[in-house]
Structure formats: structure tokens, C-alpha cells
């Protein structure tokens, strides 16, 4: 991995709510314990607490993700009869030998794979493409996702794996070149699809969004008050949405997308 990619990854992680709030809190403790800037330290500690609390609340995570997730409608098979390929974007896994392979994927990768399998069953002549590099594991995420699809009845002969691209932009360049001229269903998390679609369309791919893995879900039934307490999963949803907003900004700054 080149230095720019590593720096981008580090900055991206540090700007997420929990690491950023912890850095602010650490600075606050340094000021409180070792300097005379007591008011500044108290202010920073308060800001860190407020940040983590808000990001862990359902209404905040909902608002952060909702605009992204509603950008594209659910994929309706009846409206797209001419799909020639299905591209399933990768996410994460841990190939733990103590666990069965079906338990290796994280929830995001599993949701994307299941949507890819659903579409592969609906379009029996379409090529099924999995992306996902080798990062922190012996196997690529593309390989693990392909194994899950195979266990659900999709033959490996229908699959093509892209395992050597380090981010969504590089995947868009490689996969769009490979599928040039074809009509493609692009499967990813609903929060990720606005950025992914922009990158793939910038490369000239005729892609139709196939969102899955929704997080901003609004019940029509009134929720109990305790459901508004901060929770780890809502903090995770907020981080995912912020990651995408930052990713879109980064792509625009680098000229990878126009809008």
C-alpha cells in the first residue's frame, strides 16, 4: 500500500466520531492535569462527551444516514429486464478457522452478498462479480463473499473476483473497464451507493443501483423513550454515514466525481 493510501486510511479513521472524541478527550485531560488551561480542558471534555452521546442516539444516526439511503429506490427486478452483470462491492470479514465459513462475513458483507445472490437467481445469465481486497486477513473479501454465494447455489463458473483494488475508486476503474458497454446492477449498502454510483458512472459504466443493508429505518409506531438512549449500534451507523460524507468530499477534491 502506498503512503497516500495509508495516510488517507489513518485520517479517515481518526475523523470518525469515537476516535475523534477520544482524541479531544485526551487533549482535555492533558490540559486539565498538566497545564493552567483549565477552562479549555473542561470545554473540550464536555464537547467530547456531547459528541459521543449524540452520535450514539437513534435520531442523529437516522438523520445522518437517511438522505444517503433514500438517494436510490430499492431494485425492482421487473423494471430492469436487461441486466448483464451484477457487481457486489465488498466490506469485511474474519476468516477464523475456529468458525464455519458462513460465519466469517460481517453483517454488511453478508447483506450485500445475499442481495447479489437474489439478483443472480433472477438473472441466470448475468455474470456475478465480487470485489474486495486482502486487508488484514489471509483471504480477500471477494473470495469469502464468493464462497458464501457458492454455498447458496451460485456456481463459481458464473463469478469473477476483483481482489487487488485498494478502494472504491480503484475498483470502479477496473470493473468499469471490464464491463464496458454492459448494463450492470451495482450492489452495496444504501449509505455507500451514492458515492459508489458516482464513481462508477464517472468511469462510464451503465449501472443501476441495488441498495441493501439499510440502517435509517423509521417505525410508524411510537417508540418508547428508552429507545432514544445512546447505543453502540447507533454510533456505528453514524460512523458509517459520516465515512460516506467524507468519502464523497474526498472524491470531489481529487476530481474523481463531478457531483
Q: What is the pLDDT of residues 57-81, one digit of tens each?
A: 999 999 999 999 999 999 999 999 9
- Cell 460524507 belongs to 245
pLDDT tens track for 142-153: 999 999 999 999
Could you tell me which CATH number the domain at 76-212 has?
3.40.50.620
- From the number of C-beta atoms within 10 Å of its C-beta (0-12, 13-18, 19+), residue 73 rates as exposed
In DSSP terms, 21 is beta-bridged to none
Q: Considering the entire predicted model, what is its pTM?
A: 0.91
Q: Which three cell numbers stand for residue 5?
A: 493510501
Please give the pLDDT value at position 259.
Answer: 63
Helix or strand (DSSP H, E) at 211:
strand 206-212
Mean pLDDT of the 109-135 span: 97
Percent of all residues in the chain with a pLDDT value above 70, rounded to a whole number = 96
Mean pLDDT of the 131-141 span: 93
Helix or strand (DSSP H, E) at 31:
helix 17-34
| Per-residue pLDDT at 123 exceeds 90 | yes
Instruction: Say how far apart CA 86 and CA 123 lie, in whole Å.
Output: 9
Phi, psi at 212, each rounded to 5°: -150, -175
Please give the pLDDT value at position 148.
Answer: 98
| Per-residue pLDDT at 1 exceeds 60 | no
Instruction: Say how far apart CA 85 and CA 87 lie, in whole Å.
Output: 7
Instruction: Say how far apart CA 133 and CA 1 lie, in whole Å.
Output: 11
Q: Which three cell numbers stand for residue 200?
A: 462508477
Q: Which three cell numbers stand for residue 118?
A: 437474489
Enumerate the domain spans of the chain.
76-212
Instruction: Say how far apart CA 185 and CA 183 lie, in whole Å.
Output: 7
Please give the pLDDT value at position 238.
Answer: 96
Amino acid at each position: 500500500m502506498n503512503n497516500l493510501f495509508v495516510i488517507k486510511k489513518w485520517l479517515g479513521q481518526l475523523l470518525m466520531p469515537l476516535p475523534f472524541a477520544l482524541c479531544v478527550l485526551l487533549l482535555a485531560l492533558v490540559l486539565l492535569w498538566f497545564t493552567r488551561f483549565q477552562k479549555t480542558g473542561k470545554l473540550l471534555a464536555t464537547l467530547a462527551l456531547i459528541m459521543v452521546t449524540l452520535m450514539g442516539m437513534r435520531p442523529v444516526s437516522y438523520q445522518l444516514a437517511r438522505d444517503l439511503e433514500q438517494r436510490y429506490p430499492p431494485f425492482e427486478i421487473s423494471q430492469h429486464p436487461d441486466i448483464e452483470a451484477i457487481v457486489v462491492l465488498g466490506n469485511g470479514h474474519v476468516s477464523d478457522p475456529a468458525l464455519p465459513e458462513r460465519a466469517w462475513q460481517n453483517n454488511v458483507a453478508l447483506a450485500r452478498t445475499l442481495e447479489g445472490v437474489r439478483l443472480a437467481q433472477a438473472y441466470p445469465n448475468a455474470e456475478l462479480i465480487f470485489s474486495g481486497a486482502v486487508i488484514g486477513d489471509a483471504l480477500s473479501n471477494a473470495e469469502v463473499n464468493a464462497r458464501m454465494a457458492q454455498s447458496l447455489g451460485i456456481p463459481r463458473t458464473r463469478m469473477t473476483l476483483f481482489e487487488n483494488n485498494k478502494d472504491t475508486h480503484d475498483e470502479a476503474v477496473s470493473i468499469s473497464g471490464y464491463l464496458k458497454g454492459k448494463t450492470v446492477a451495482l450492489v452495496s449498502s444504501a449509505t455507500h451507493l451514492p458515492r459508489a454510483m458516482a464513481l462508477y458512472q464517472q468511469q462510464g459504466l451503465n449501472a443501476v443501483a441495488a441498495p441493501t443493508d439499510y440502517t435509517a429505518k423509521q417505525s410508524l409506531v411510537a417508540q418508547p423513550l428508552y429507545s432514544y438512549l445512546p447505543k453502540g449500534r447507533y454510533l456505528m451507523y453514524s460512523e458509517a454515514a459520516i465515512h460516506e460524507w467524507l468519502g464523497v468530499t474526498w472524491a470531489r477534491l481529487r476530481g474523481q466525481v463531478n457531483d
